[in-house]
Amino acid sequence: MTATTPPATEPSDADKAGIAALTQKVIAAWAYNDAEGFADLFIENGTMILAGVYKNGQAEIREFLRDAYQGRYKGTQVTGKPLSIRKLSADAAILLSQGGVLEAGESEVSPSAAIRASWVVVRHDGQWRLAAYQNTPVNVT
Amino acid sequence: MSKIGTPSREKLVRKSAELAPLLQKHASWAEENRRLHDEVIEGLADAGVFKLRQPKRYGGYEADTQTLVEVATELGRGDGSASWVASVSWIPGWMACLFPDEVQDEVFDTPNVRVCGTLSPSAIAAPSDGGIVVNGKWRFISGAHHSHWQEIIAILAPPEGDPYPVIALVPMSDLLIVDDWHTSGLKGTGSVSTVAKDLFVPQQRVLPLGAVLQGEPASKRSAESKIYRTPLLPVASASSVGTVLGLGRAAKDAFLRRLDDRKITYTDYESQREAPLTHMQVADAALKLDAAEFHAQRLATQVDTKGNEGAQWKVEERIRARADMGAVVRLVREAVDILATASGGSSIYTDVPIQRIARDVQAVALHALMHPNTNTELYGRVLCGLEPNTQYI
């Protein structure tokens, strides 16, 4: 049996797809300016750390995005692609991604907006969800 | 052989040619507004353009690809963006005909139904009760503004086994349009992005992409038709080349129309028509357009002949179809470049069509499946005895 069990660091293709799907779900929720949908990608006590931002729990994340979609993030899109996916245990993994916010009229992320992100993800009831998200600028200014 | 009620190829081509003034009239508007004018869509519908590849049982014409080449050539003479949207509609529209009959009943219930789509698997799907749930975003969705359905592609991750690409049909009302079409070419096509968020698609509207690439209809009635049993890429290639030929003709028409009024500034040539340089340029461009036409004809003839015979496609034949498409694009781009180069500084004003034609041809030539370099390399690779390095054949 051990021969067919994937090593702890290399997820199965199905897990990879399920975890990578979170990047697609973020892109879609953002395009719809759907603060509810975005927050629902997190577990109840999930956390989000951005430059100058720390939100603790689904409710804070939801409220932050609801305001941001009316203000700072109005008219923007996000884009992102997985850099790597590592399983930590059967139901926990780390996804690293690269992407960023696209301002209206932008088709590529500008150097100043480019970020790399760490996503700590857990499987709850068969669904991969975010426990913690943090990003950091790619370029030092 | 045309059935009663199905217009002849000659009539369809003539009606498309008659649209040229309408297409030309709205070409600048389309560029400014980054989408086709509603009157252009109505004109295309009235000329039967959207029915060409639709099943006869729903009032369509099931036209062969020779007809597509000739119709798109006429449309492309009018406006590249309008022609591109028409050509693209023939591809996802044809893919819709591979779905089960009950799905087609729903899609083709709308007269002149328009299906937009993509070949990019830039979304992820998960199995759900009775279907799949899709999240993702697709770029370059030509004609989205005026479509009723979109053909989408997503990677489906089943609970057991390997993920694989699926193709699905969804009503446009289920998708969000992101108006991000700010481009330098084919500006009038409105090739915006679309987004699916937790979108449920019932199982009957989902097929494995492999079956569609191979041209294997899930519909029993489509499997009996000559036009729905061909691999996708040769069909898509033959559906696309007419627009390119049309752009080439448009460039030649536009150049010759200005010839009388143009001198060659700061030289003694009072008329460009008198300069041997012009003779060389016009003949070079014309011969390249003739050669492009040869490749388009060879491509369409092969697709139609094999469809009629129900013959299998060898790998080399599929790849030659892509090579023919690439050759059309390369030759037309070269011809347009010669003519645009000979058109003088006055041709950069936005009301002079050749500058738009040159930008449109450049945009076509950069399309991942139409790029002449990619297609030529693929053809050469197989001629040298290697396996193709793409599943898009």
Find out whether B50 and B113 touch, Cβ atoms under 8 Å.
yes
Minimum CA–CA partner of A128 in chain B: B126
Is the CB of residue A21 less than 8 Å away from at least one CB of chain B?
yes
CB neighbour burial string for B27-54, b if at least 16 within 10 angstroms, e if fewer: beebbeebbbbeebbebbeebbbbbbbb
Residue B153 has pLDDT above 90, yes or no: yes
Phi then psi for residue A97, to 5 deg, are: -140, 165
Residues A6, A15: Cα–Cα separation, whole Å: 11
Q: Which of A24, A27, A32 to mutate to test the interface with B (most CBs of B within 10 A)?
A: A24
Per-residue model confidence as pLDDT tens digits over B75-120: 999 999 999 999 999 999 999 999 999 999 999 999 999 999 999 9
Q: Which of residues 179-208 of B touch A (CB under 8 A)?
A: 180, 182, 195-198
Q: What is the pLDDT of residues A99-108, one digit of tens each?
A: 999 999 999 9
Query: Which of residues B35 and B159 earns the better pLDDT score?
Result: B35
Average pLDDT over residues A46-69: 97
CA distances for B282 relative to A83, B117, B259, B264, B272, angstroms: 51, 37, 11, 15, 11
Query: Residue B208 — pLDDT band, cuts 50, 70, 90?
Result: very high
A32/B contact by beta carbon, under 8 A? yes
Check CB contact of A74 with chain B, cutoff 8 Å.
no
Strand B115-117 to B149-156 pairing: parallel
Domain boundaries, chain B: 9-113, 115-207, 230-383
CA-nearest of A37, A49, A72 to B135 is: A37
Q: Which helix (H) or strand (E) holds A114?
A: strand A114-124
| Parallel, antiparallel or unpaired: strands B192-202 and B149-156 | unpaired
pLDDT at B7 exceeding the cut of 50: yes
Q: How far is CA A126 from CA A21, B159, B196, in A?
A: 13, 10, 21
Q: CB-based contact (8 Å) between A34 and chain B?
A: yes
Closest CA to B198 of A73, A41, A57, A124: A41
The closest alpha carbon to B127, from A127, A84, A28, belongs to A127
DSSP code of residue A105? T
Min Cα distance B159 → chain A (Å) is 7
Mean pLDDT of A80-109: 96
Which residue segments constitute the domains of chain A, with CATH numbers given?
A: 2-137 (3.10.450.50)
Q: How far is CA B109 from CA A4, B102, B105, B147, in A?
A: 49, 11, 6, 14
CATH 3.20.20.60 fits B230-383, yes or no: no
Are B9-113 and B115-207 equal in CATH topology?
Answer: no
Structurally, at CATH architecture level, domain B9-113 sits in Orthogonal Bundle (1.10)
Model confidence pLDDT, tens digit, residues B245-294: 999 999 999 999 999 889 999 999 999 999 999 999 999 999 999 999 99
Could you tell me the CA-to-CA distances from A127 to A28, A67, B21 in Å, in that order?
17, 27, 56
CA angle A55, B136, B362 (to 5 degrees): 120
Total residues found in chain A within this entry: 141
B305-336, pLDDT tens digit by residue?
Answer: 999 999 999 999 999 999 999 999 999 999 99
The whole-angstrom separation of Cα B377 and Cα B379 is 5
Residue B129's alpha-carbon distances to A30, A37, B117, B136, B203, in angstroms, are 26, 21, 25, 20, 9
Which candidate in B34, B129, B135 is best for mutational testing of the A interface (most A CBs within 10 A)? B135
Classify residue B161 as left (phi > 0), alpha (psi -120 to 50) or beta: left
Helix axis angle, B20-33 to B353-366, nearest 10° = 70
- Name the maximum alpha-carbon separation found in chain A: 54
The whole-angstrom separation of Cα B347 and Cα B358 is: 11
Q: How confident is the model at residue B71 (pLDDT cuts 50, 70, 90)?
A: very high
Q: What is the spatial distance between Cα B288 and Cα B325, in angstroms, rounded to a whole number?
A: 14
Average pLDDT, chain B: 96
**Min Cα separation A16/chain B (Å):** 9
Among B12, B31, B46, residue whose Cα is nearest residue B359: B31
**CB-based contact, B221 to chain A, within 8 Å:** no
Q: What average pLDDT score do residues A71-86 get?
A: 96
Count Cα neighbours of A7 within 13 Å in the Cβ-side half-sphere.
Answer: 4
Closest-CA residue in chain B for A32? Answer: B176
In this predicted structure, the answer to whether residue B351 has a pLDDT above a threshold of 80 is: yes
Give the ranges where chain B is alpha helix by DSSP (H): 9-18, 20-33, 38-46, 65-78, 80-96, 101-107, 209-213, 220-223, 232-258, 276-309, 315-341, 353-366, 372-383
- How far CA B16 is from CA of A85, A86, B238, in Å, comes to 52, 56, 18
Query: DSSP label at B57?
Result: G
pTM confidence score = 0.94
Per-residue model confidence (pLDDT) at position B4: 60
Structural contact between residues B109 and B117, judged by C-beta atoms closer than 8 angstroms = no
Which among A20, A24, A32 has the least Cβ separation from residue B176? A32
Minimum distance, in Å, between the CA of residue A45 and any CA atom of chain B: 22
Dig out the tokens for B92 from the structure: 């996802």
CATH superfamily of B115-207: Butyryl-CoA Dehydrogenase, subunit A, domain 2 (2.40.110.10)
CA distance B85 to B157: 32
Answer whether A77 touches B (CB < 8 Å).
Answer: yes
Residue A4, pLDDT > 80, answer: no
Tell me which amino acid residue A18 is. Answer: G
Mean per-residue pLDDT over chain A, rounded: 93
pLDDT, tens digit (0-9, with 9 covering 90-100), for A7-37: 557 888 889 999 999 999 999 999 999 999 9
Residue B223: band (very low, low, confident or very high) from pLDDT cuts 50, 70, 90: confident
- Written as one letter, the residue type at B361 is V
Quick one: pLDDT at residue A8? 56
Q: Is A17 in CB contact (< 8 Å) with chain B?
A: yes
Q: Is the pLDDT of residue A6 over 60?
A: no
Closest CA–CA distance from residue B185 to any residue of chain A (Å): 15
CA distance B163 to chain A (A): 6
Q: Fill in the amino acid letter for B123.
A: A
pLDDT for residue A2: 47
Q: What are phi and psi of A122, to 5 degrees?
A: -130, 150
Q: What is the C-alpha to C-alpha distance for residues B278 and B291, in angstroms, rounded to an integer?
A: 20
Interface of B with A in 161-180 (CB under 8 A): 161-163, 176, 178, 180
Tell me if B257 sits within 8 A of B249, measured CB to CB. no
